[in-house]
Amino acid sequence: AQKITQTQPGMFVQEKEAVTLDCTYDTSDQSYGLFWYKQPSSGEMIFLIYQGSYDEQNATEGRYSLNFQKARKSANLVISASQLGDSAMYFCAIRANDYKLSFGAGTTVTVRA
């Protein structure tokens, strides 16, 4: 079974600043994928970024980057130049040999003007 831990229930960030969301995972599988999703108050789960366990380079997607530290089983999300529209719940998830996504509890990000 896979497990995701997100230790930050909520965070505040000033507009235009960067924020790092923590994610640690636990799996016995050697091959797995790590995902980050954003869920605004509307409820839709928006895909942000993906990192494969064998990818040596950290994934980047626009203002999103993933700080992948395999030995520490860590996959932190960095959002650069925060915008007011970034205010949402953010979920880290892992998908391994059982193919299902296992999610963390989420981190609420509030961007202040």
Scanning 18-26, 45-53, 71-79, 80-88 for contacts with another protein by CB under 8 A, the matching segment is 45-53
Among 20, 45, 58, 74, binds another protein (CB under 8 A): 45
44 sits near another protein (criterion: CB under 8 A): yes
Q: What b-and-e string marks burial along 64-93, b requiring 16 or more CB atoms within 10 Å of the CB?
A: bbbbbeeeebebbbbbeebeeebbbbbbbb
Residue 78 interacting with another protein (CB under 8 A): no
Q: Which is nearer to another protein, 64 or 103 (CB)?
A: 103
Q: Does 47 bind another protein (CB under 8 A)?
A: yes
By CB under 8 A, residue 65 contacts another protein = no
* Residue where the block lists tokens 């993933």: 66
Compare residues 18 and 46 and give the one whose CB is closer to another protein.
46
Asked if 91 touches another protein (CB under 8 A), the answer is yes
Q: How would you class 36 by CB atoms within 10 Å of its CB: exposed for 0-12, middle for 13-18, buried for 19 or more?
A: buried
